[in-house]
Amino acid sequence: MAKQSSVLLIYTGGTIGMIEDAHTGELKPFDFRSLTKQIPELTKFDIHLSAISFENPIDSSNMHPDVWVELAGIVKKNYNLYDGFVILHGSDTMSFTASALSFMLENLDKPVVLTGSQLPIGMIRTDGKENLITSIEIAGTKSKGKAIVREVCIYFEYKLYRGNRTIKYNSLHFDAFRSPNYPTLAEAGVSISYNTNALLKHTGKVLKVHTNLENDIAVLKLFPGISRQITSAILQSPGLKAVILETFGSGNASTEPWFLNEIKQTIAREIIILNITQCSEGKVMQGKYETSSQLKKLGVIGGADLTFESAVAKLMFLLGQKLTKTQIKKKLLENLRGELSN
């Protein structure tokens, strides 16, 4: 008989474990022990389930790289004890956390599934129960003794996504996430159907956990009429190491001399500029239009189809490694954890 799978559930906070304050009506985190009471189905699983909770659960809008370090540490400490991990997390910044963990957990050979819900678990119409139950099932699923999923994912509303490809797309629908540039990894219907070709293959190397992240980055989202003053203020921020430049369409930006000069001066100060598109689907192709050729010539790095969330996480991760600026620029162009299409 196959050995029973074991899954570690990590509760960080979010709507899934929230209740309504009787006086103010506001949603706020509640004691995790009540969560297991809310879902008696959890005891019926043929999966050994253990659960831990953050002492102070947070709304994910308070998420911070220090918490990512804590989560990566929990996975590292328990890696050999469990077959898979489920992280309960607020949906607001779930894509950032999933992206960050994907870079921090190098050579991952087990599933790390993030999930949450749009309605608290105690509500009759909650989406939390299905999200949680299926996430646990995915985290505990093996084929011939090996994990099927070996990456950081998000499971929400019957779909499993590669975490670093997701965006939170809808704040009202149960179907809250999208993976605009990469297929879903699995769909849950009567059974869970895995898209085996889309899943990451194991590297065959041992897990390496990276916990050094640097957040000296800024975002410059372009819009027609953006002022020189605001642009300079962002690009000349003290301590800045990298900038995410959110451009139009396939990576295009204004060709006004003052703007290009600001970009040139920023790169001359050894600050990395990563170009990603404001479109949720498609990719940056520097050089396709005249309005992006200049950026390429000046040394702006094309982010291809990297999501904003993944760009933030990848930069924090790479800046935290002991790499030269040239090495960081090279790695930004490489597909490290399935975050970029070739």
List interacting residues with ligand ASP (CB under 6 A).
Answer: 13-15, 59-61, 90-92, 116, 118
We find the least distance from the C-beta atom of residue 104 to ligand ASP, in angstroms, to be 20
Task: For ligand ASP, give the closer residue by CB, 16 or 253.
Answer: 16
We find the least distance from the C-beta atom of residue 149 to ligand ASP, in angstroms, to be 22
DSSP 286: T
Phi/psi-derived region of residue 336, left when phi > 0, alpha when psi is between -120 and 50, beta in every other case: alpha
Q: Compute how many other C-beta atoms are within 10 angstroms of the C-beta atom of residue 333.
A: 12
Task: For ligand ASP, give the closer residue by CB, 176 or 315.
Answer: 176
We find the least distance from the C-beta atom of residue 184 to ligand ASP, in angstroms, to be 20
Task: For ligand ASP, give the closer residue by CB, 4 or 62.
Answer: 62
Q: Which of 12, 15, 97, 231 is catalytic?
A: 15
We find the least distance from the C-beta atom of residue 126 to ligand ASP, in angstroms, to be 12
Residue 185: closest CA among 98, 90, 70: 98
Phi/psi-derived region of residue 166, left when phi > 0, alpha when psi is between -120 and 50, beta in every other case: beta
We find the least distance from the C-beta atom of residue 174 to ligand ASP, in angstroms, to be 11
Task: For ligand ASP, give the closer residue by CB, 81 or 172.
Answer: 172
* Tokens 């970029």, located at residue: 340
- Closest CB to ligand ASP: residue number: 90
Task: For ligand ASP, give the closer residue by CB, 63 or 316.
Answer: 63
Q: Distance (Å, rounded) from C-alpha 329 to C-alpha 331?
A: 6
We find the least distance from the C-beta atom of residue 61 to ligand ASP, in angstroms, to be 6
Catalytic annotation on 15?
yes
Task: For ligand ASP, give the closer residue by CB, 20 or 109.
Answer: 20
We find the least distance from the C-beta atom of residue 18 to ligand ASP, in angstroms, to be 7
Counting every residue written for the chain, the total comes to 342
Q: Compute how many other C-beta atoms are within 10 angstroms of the C-beta atom of residue 182.
A: 18
The identity of residue 260, as a single letter, is: L
Furthest CA-CA distance within the chain: 70
Residue 97: closest CA among 279, 312, 243, 277: 312
Residue 299: closest CA among 323, 333, 334, 338: 333
Please answer whether residues 108 and 316 qualify as being in contact, where contact means their C-beta atoms are separated by less than 8 angstroms: no
Task: For ligand ASP, give the closer residue by CB, 5 or 117.
Answer: 117
What values do phi and psi take at 193, rounded to 5? -105, 115
End-to-end CA distance of the chain: 41
Q: Distance (Å, rounded) from C-alpha 265 to C-alpha 330?
A: 21
Beta-bridge partner residues of 217 = 242
Query: Which residues are designated catalytic?
Result: 15
